[in-house]
Structure 1
Amino acid sequence: MSHHFARLLALILACLMPLAPVFAGAWLQQKGQGFSATSLTLRRDLAAIKGLDAEQRIPAEFGYYGEYGLHRRWTVGVDLNLSRGSSAHALLFVRHPLPRLGPANTAVELALGLNQSSAVWAPMQRLTLSYGRGFDTWWRDRPLSGWVALDLGHEWRSKGLEQTWKLDATFGLNRPGKLAPLLQVETSKTAGASLSVAVTPSLRVPLARHFGKDAPELVIGLQHKQTETRSLGIKLAIWHRF
């Protein structure tokens, strides 16, 4: 793990505060309940946006994530991702809780499947440790609740020939039936490659208010991503609890 990656990990950990669970990560789904997220991200290289290189385009990225509470201590799911003309993965995963750290939830997740690179599919594995805390407080005489989730993962792609560390953080507020802000920070470091950082501030928009807390949501975000190049994109997602 690079020096910059370690510094980023320390910074995110330093920002943690007593935070309420929403889904995924350190929290398991209740038995018989589930959650799904379908997303589409459209990016454009910043050089192209500024008119410096009109031909430089970043492939669109499609993702599907679904999980289901098989047992009170076992959540299973699927993680699909396709970056047009670039890469893809298809994973099945299982999540199990770890001992609580005070008010915080922790969990371990193992994912197995395939990844595609240069039109060749190969075995892929991922191990993730998750930490999550929720908070309930007051702001301007109104109740306010939210959560923070932190996921540290290690991926083995292409039969282990490509190994990647990932650290993702999600900060959000709970506002059932109302507009709610969300901030996602995704980082990854593959051996021999540059550190990748994507920052996506978003807004969760309920699509059917009469469903209350279980209403499907449209998530609209603006993403800034830096790898070898810098890109700006729009991320759209549909969240659904069932």
Structure 2
Amino acid sequence: MQQENQGFTSTSLTLRQDLVALQGNGDGMRMPTELGFYGEFGLHPRWTVGVDLNVSKRSSAHALIFARHPLSQLGRAQTSVELALGMNQSSEIWAPMQRLTLSYGRSFETQPRDSRLSGWIALDIAHEWRSKGLEQTWKLDMTIGLDRPGKIAPLLQIETSKTAGLPLSLTTTSSLRVPLDRHFGSSAPELVIGLQHKRADTQSLGIKLALWHRF
């Protein structure tokens, strides 16, 4: 959940290359460039709203608006439910799309060798109905990150996706969050640079660049 009157945006670009081509064993499958924008805002202490936009060149796209509401507080952990409504594009045809997500998130703190480390972990399980419900997908995602204010910090994201009739998709992205405060001042964004491995009907390696901004 976002605090009231506070928000977050992420603008991303992902470039991928088929592993077959990278290994020099052929041309491989053409991997589309992927563009994404995600934004959320704390409208009320118990309501966070936002937008989720994504397009894969010559492949697919979606445009969603969502609302998130907290569920139970479990110690230092928080749970929430989110409903997203919008449209998805496949084979150049736009159709209604819905997504229901349950989320679990908590902060953590450790002190290995007298060195204090803090961060967070988030788990999301979602069910998507695309193309008027004809295409249904289950997703399970995990994010682990460290907090190092003013310093470079690591981030790990693991995303799984299973659509009926298609193979399981597994995407792992290892990233570094680079603060840009020296150039932008106190409200500085972060540059996120990641190396991504995706296994679905084919395997690919990619570079993911994102700009995070909190306001």
Normalised-by-shorter TM-score class: over 0.9
Matched positions, count: 214
Higher strand share: 2
Quote the Cα distance in structure 1 between the aligned partners of 2:89 and 2:29: 23
Select the residue among 168, 172, 175 that pairs with 2:148.
Answer: 175
Higher helix share: 1
Select the residue among 172, 179, 192 that pairs with 2:165.
Answer: 192
Tell me the residue number matched to 2:39. Answer: 66
TM-score w.r.t. the length of structure 2 is: 0.97
TM-score w.r.t. the length of structure 1 is: 0.86
Quote the Cα distance in structure 2 between the aligned partners of 1:211 and 1:137: 30
| Partner SS, residue 140 of structure 1 | helix
**Structure 1 contact 108–130 (Cα < 8 Å) conserved:** yes
Tell me the residue number matched to 1:156. Answer: 129
* Unaligned residue ranges in structure 2 (runs of 5+): none
How far does residue 55 in structure 1 lie from its aligned partner after superposition? 5.4
Moved segments of 4+, more than 4 Å:
209-212
Select the residue among 49, 65, 73 that pairs with 1:76.
Answer: 49
- The letter of the residue matching 1:179 is I
Deviations 1:72-124 (CA, angstroms, capped at 9, x unpaired): 10000000000000000000000000011232100000000000000000000
Select the residue among 40, 53, 71 that pairs with 2:26.
Answer: 53
Tell me the residue number matched to 1:98. Answer: 71
| Partner SS, residue 33 of structure 2 | strand
Quote the Cα distance in structure 2 between the aligned partners of 1:56 and 1:203: 28
* Unaligned residue ranges in structure 1 (runs of 5+): 1-27
> 2:117 matched to 1:144?
yes
- The letter of the residue matching 1:187 is T
**Structure 2 contact 19–28 (Cα < 8 Å) conserved:** no
**Structure 1 contact 48–57 (Cα < 8 Å) conserved:** no
Q: Percent identity?
A: 71
- The letter of the residue matching 1:67 is E
How far does residue 211 in structure 1 lie from its aligned partner after superposition? 4.2
> 2:82 matched to 1:109?
yes
